[in-house]
Amino acid sequence: MKRVHAFADDVLGDLDAVGIARAIASGDFSAAEASEAAARRIDGVNPEIAAVAFDDRERALVRARENGFSGVFAGVPTLIKNNTAYAGLPTQQGSAAIPPRPAASHEAFTEEFLGTGVNILGATTMPAFGLTATTEFADRAPTRNPWDTDYSSGASSGGSAALVAAGAVPIAHANDGGGSIRIPAAACGLVGLKPSRGRTAGVATASNAPIDLVSNGIVSRSVRDTAYFLSDLERLRRVDGFDPVGLVEGPGRRRLRVAMITDPLTGQPLDPDTRREVHAVADLLEELGHRVETVPIPVDRSFIDHFTNYWALLAFSLDRFGGKLLDPEFDRGKLDPFTRGLSRKFLRNFYKTPSTLIGLKRATAKFRKAFDDYDVILTPTLAHQTPEIGYLDPDGDFDEIFDRLVRYVAFTPADNSCGTPAISLPLGSSSAGMPIGIHFSADRGGERTLLELSYELEEARPFARIQDA
């Protein structure tokens, strides 16, 4: 096992983002000192984990010295995922098919993120177009998990998760179209909240999709950082259709009705460590006074086919229309094998598209009906432990890799098609010492319930720290 982290006796210490912002505001150290320390930390771990897509520290250090930041994270160093336009940096989405042309302007979520006061030092790695659950590539080195560099960091926000878990920065941007915040959070031992659809500004490339699966957010090491992030976004933009979350600062008093689901739709059993850890959290919830009942998953097996057909449709759209959707100089010949394989899968099933869209809408109604009887749904984040590098190799046999992916990512996609919020918490650990994420879903607009419960669980079972392990 090779563990990599950047925690050191510098100004950042082991502070979370709220702690760093408060230290800057009180004059303990400057925004420039914070960004310089983060740059050194990145240099210390990136050769091992390969999590930075584009370095932008020079511009960031100029901004830090000017110190014109405002917001809850004023002056906090961070990075943005490389599928979100940030003026001056290329937005390559993990693919050589997109030329490395700097973006001319920020997209909507970038403006929201900057509005919290963060200082962006660069862009993080992601697999091609975010279509898989590991940050591995056919044409370059993989992004590795800092808990053990033999293992995957998850995806698609794998670079962000690896850097935050390694202590290089306290938070980083992530987004989620099938689990892409929650999967890497689970793999790297972090807090990963996928907000309700529309709670944060959407992803520009997904805005015209028949069903917009993607929500923007962050990965963090503390529940507090995620809660303050969501609260500060509400200060910046009113969201129609939802009650405000407000600033959640601790556990709630209400005892919850919890539905526990441990049998994946795919039919395979959980691995022993994952099953043990999710049941341990259920026991903890009952000790805390919540009521836990085991229930079947509230969608039927057809959901797998509907979601994977829609997933393949997205790949086909990129394959055939990348020049219109992404960049006029999109080079289809440079697409990775996994994206091409997924596009071909759509062609074999294109006639199913109308029934796919109808099926996903019906599944949404079934899934949300579960919240008539329960406040939250408890599952593992993933159906088995984080795999080693190569298990989900995008250059491997497509059918075999696709089957492995579907079995691995068995719990997270329902919240994307339904638009419901969900969070992965680092409450479990495997016999090999790797993090295991525990997953909670709520009905649309239920982020406050998830955050209050997360605070309570973090307090009852403090999250493992990479620097202590």
Mean pLDDT of all residues in 383-393: 98
Which residues have C-beta within 8 Å of that of residue 65, sequence separation ≥ 6? 31, 32
**158, two tokens:** 């794998």
pLDDT higher than 70, residue 464: yes
The tens digit of pLDDT for each residue in 158-203 reads: 999 999 999 999 999 999 999 999 999 999 999 999 999 999 998 8
Helix, strand, or coil (residue 281) = helix
Mean pLDDT of all residues in 339-360: 96
| 397: confidence class by pLDDT, cuts 50, 70, 90 | very high
| 1: confidence class by pLDDT, cuts 50, 70, 90 | low
- Could you confirm whether 156 is annotated as catalytic? yes
What is the rounded distance in angstroms from the CA atom of residue 446 to the CA atom of residue 92? 33
pLDDT higher than 90, residue 469: no
The tens digit of pLDDT for each residue in 360-380 reads: 999 999 999 999 999 999 999
What is the rounded distance in angstroms from the CA atom of residue 393 to the CA atom of residue 389? 7
Other beta carbons within 10 Å of 344: 14
Query: Could you tell me how many helices (H) and strands (E) the chain has, helices first?
Result: 14, 11
Mean predicted lDDT score pLDDT of the chain:
96
pLDDT higher than 90, residue 218: yes
* Dihedral, CA of residue 53, residue 15, residue 229 and residue 457, to nearest 10: 110
Cis peptide before 207 (omega within 30 of 0): no
Percent of the chain residues topping a pLDDT of 70? 100
**H or E element: which one contains 404?**
helix 398-408
What is the rounded distance in angstroms from the CA atom of residue 445 to the CA atom of residue 195? 8
Query: Which residue ranges make up each domain of the chain?
Result: 128-157+170-460
- State the catalytic residue, choosing from 180, 222, 231, 417: 180
pLDDT higher than 80, residue 156: yes
Separation of first and last alpha carbons in the chain: 12
pLDDT higher than 90, residue 405: yes
> Which residue shows structure tokens 């998990």?
145
The tens digit of pLDDT for each residue in 407-454 reads: 999 999 999 999 999 999 999 999 999 999 999 999 999 999 999 999
- Could you confirm whether 207 is annotated as catalytic? no
Other beta carbons within 10 Å of 87: 12
> Which residue shows structure tokens 């502070």?
15
Per the CB < 8 A criterion, the answer to whether 274 and 282 are in contact is no
pLDDT higher than 80, residue 325: yes
pTM of the model: 0.98
CA nearest neighbour of 91 among 51, 80, 42: 80
Instruction: Tell me which CATH homologous superfamily contains domain 128-157+170-460.
Output: Amidase signature (AS) domain (3.90.1300.10)
- Could you confirm whether 81 is annotated as catalytic? yes
The tens digit of pLDDT for each residue in 245-274 reads: 999 999 999 999 999 999 999 999 999 999
- State the catalytic residue, choosing from 35, 153, 156, 429: 156
| 111: confidence class by pLDDT, cuts 50, 70, 90 | very high
Per the CB < 8 A criterion, the answer to whether 106 and 85 are in contact is yes
What is the rounded distance in angstroms from the CA atom of residue 216 to the CA atom of residue 174? 6
Per the CB < 8 A criterion, the answer to whether 222 and 458 are in contact is yes
pLDDT higher than 90, residue 238: no
CA nearest neighbour of 55 among 6, 86, 89: 89
Task: Please compute Rg for the chain using Cα positions.
Answer: 20
